[in-house]
Amino acid sequence: MCIRDSIRTAYADLLRGTASKYNTELIDRYNFIKESKSDTLVIDELVNIPRTIFVADITSDPKAMCNIFYSQYFGKNSITLKNK
């Protein structure tokens, strides 16, 4: 992908509102996790995923590294995605 394509993709994410919606989803997710009294959480997957800044998300596997990092950061035993 050349730099022109990257810039075009970034503009598309901004103009379509995908980046803003993604930010709102993440804030809502983090607030839900922080406010939850449960030590084991199963959460919804992200819907608005911008192509320019998204790398990976948690999975339904509690032993996946990303899930473990999320759990440790928020002080929970387990955080996973709902199965589809």
pLDDT band at 54 (very low <50, low <70, confident <90, very high): low
Tell me the pLDDT band of 11, cut-offs 50, 70 and 90.
confident
Which residues share a beta bridge with 81? 43
Q: Which residues pair with 42 in a beta bridge?
A: 80
Inter-CA distances, 5 with 2, 9, 15, 61, Å: 5, 6, 15, 34
Q: What is the mean pLDDT of the chain?
A: 90
Q: Distance between CA atoms of 22 and 19, rounded to whole angstroms?
A: 5
pLDDT surpasses 60 at 53: yes
CA 20 – CA 74 distance, rounded (Å): 23
52 close to 6: Cβ distance less than 8 angstroms: yes
